[in-house]
Amino acid sequence: MSAKNGTPHSEALDLVVVGGGVAGLVAALCAATEGDVLVLTKGPLLSSNSQLAQGGIAAAVADDDSPELHAEDTIRTGRGLCRRSAVSVLTEEAPARIRDLVELGVEFDEGFGLEGGHSRRRVVHAGGAATGDRVARLLAERVLAHPRIQVAEGERMLSLWFTDERCVGVVTDRRAVAARATLVATGGAAALWQRTTNPPGALGEGMTAAYRAGVGLADLEFVQFHPTTLVDSSLLLSEALRGEGALLLDEHGERFTDELAPRDVVAREIAARGTALLDLRAIDRARFPGLMGSLAEEGYDPAATPIPVAPAAHYSVGGILTDLDGRSELAGLYAAGECAATGVHGANRLASNSLLECLVFGRRAALAALAEPGLPARLPKASVPAAAEPVTAALRRGLWEDCGLIRDAAGLERLQSAPHLLTRLIAESALTREESRGSHFRIDFPAESEAFERHVVLRPGAEPVLETWP
């Protein structure tokens, strides 16, 4: 797919969107109804995490379902930390956002998928396990065709452009871009871990840039590990397979866990054994043509033999602290999608709630951003970005070993001297949370503690604080 040229602007934009995943694309389309928008993506437009999403999008659209039931499942999985107002927004708006996609032209499959933690079949999907690709591709086509949206592919944000009072745009590897509002939609940071389901670009650069601009980051210690990733590979074998009846077996061919228990539980059960076997022999494999093709390419025959799987870092629950309209703590700066922390996931994300989060909060952030005031007549000089911090193999191994599925103070303290700001912040959050909850497991504090029924928030120049959000 070829992009329109991103040319420097002499006049300020209404919105600059950093990131071309589902959150950024939805936000761009919503804002372009009233404003001029620029979308920046550091890689090709169609190379986001969003495109890889397999299982689908959770939404209470089935006859036997309701937003309240969806909210209950989300809150149960979030282990006492979900911001209930955010969950209500997410689950109540979900059916309307699915209708938006249908109106745009997404063709969803018949029937609903079942995934871990859901009490109902409520996951809408397209092309079997190709949901992310179908949705992201269509949104990208609409964005590229929109007369009020410019797209600059291969242009990387190095830092935000800000004064003490507000954000005025971004500094990229090519120029400074001024905009009335800036939306960071740069996705998560799971590619910082050695074993990951994410593409290499998922490094949390938006979170780092926001922190450097002085805003709070929250819930960074909660990183979801996907239980069933093909060993020695980043190929994720979707939870939808287990929803269809795939079994997890140990080396003796025995089941050892509830396949649809929350991801953190299943991931730790597998990690305790090193690897496990995912038995796909009895399910309707034809429903997942893409995945079966990928397994064949890797040399596996799922009709004949169970597939070896192990956990991998998958999803950043935390990120840039925002309100329910994507506002960060700096005026004019918004965040949505995986890089944001609305509190909607609590301590653990319910499967297939993240694409939904992109749809719901991407739209809300765009609509709120349109109400930002104009820029001052004179803009401050754009600050020179900090030197890039390389993400080395040693850094990724360090995060895997010291801030993986099972953590302790000694490992987390080691990470505090890592030559990478976001790694140090993740370790600091994980050290602060002296308990185990959801996706954060400390072997030295193995139980949940009421004292930590709060969010860890980090701000530059300040000690970590524990906050309760309304």
Choice between 159 and 432, CB closer to ligand FAD: 159
Catalytic residue among 263, 268, 327, 407: 263
Among 151, 291, 355, 366, binds ligand FAD (CB under 6 A): 355
Q: How far is CA 316 from CA 97, 273, 278, 354, in A?
A: 23, 24, 25, 10
Q: Which helix (H) or strand (E) holds 278?
A: strand 276-279
What's the rounded Cα separation, in Å, for the pair 263 and 241?
A: 14
- Which of 435, 458, 325, 467 shows the shortest CA–CA distance to 79? 435
What's the rounded Cα separation, in Å, for the pair 310 and 231?
A: 6
Asked if residue 98 binds ligand FAD (CB under 6 A), the reply is no
Asked if residue 315 binds ligand FAD (CB under 6 A), the reply is yes
Q: What is the CA radius of gyration of the chain?
A: 21
Asked if residue 24 binds ligand FAD (CB under 6 A), the reply is yes
What's the rounded Cα separation, in Å, for the pair 373 and 212?
A: 23
Choice between 202 and 382, CB closer to ligand FAD: 202
Residue 84 known to be catalytic: no
Choice between 315 and 441, CB closer to ligand FAD: 315
Contacts with ligand FAD by CB under 6 A: the residue count is 42
Asked if residue 186 binds ligand FAD (CB under 6 A), the reply is yes
| Closest distance to ligand FAD from the beta carbon of 259 (Å) | 16
Among 269, 323, 338, 402, binds ligand FAD (CB under 6 A): 338
Asked if residue 228 binds ligand FAD (CB under 6 A), the reply is no
Among 37, 81, 126, 236, binds ligand FAD (CB under 6 A): 236
Choice between 15 and 157, CB closer to ligand FAD: 157
Asked if residue 157 binds ligand FAD (CB under 6 A), the reply is yes
Contact 39, 28 (CB under 8 A): yes
Q: How far is CA 168 from CA 153, 162, 183, 252, 361, in A?
A: 21, 5, 11, 60, 21
Asked if residue 93 binds ligand FAD (CB under 6 A), the reply is no
What's the rounded Cα separation, in Å, for the pair 120 and 331?
A: 40
- Report the SS3 class of residue 377: coil
Q: Give the residues lining the site for ligand FAD (CB under 6 A).
A: 18-24, 40-43, 48-50, 52-57, 131-132, 156-157, 185-187, 197-198, 201-202, 205-206, 236, 315, 337-339, 352, 354-355, 358
Kindly list the catalytic residues. 263
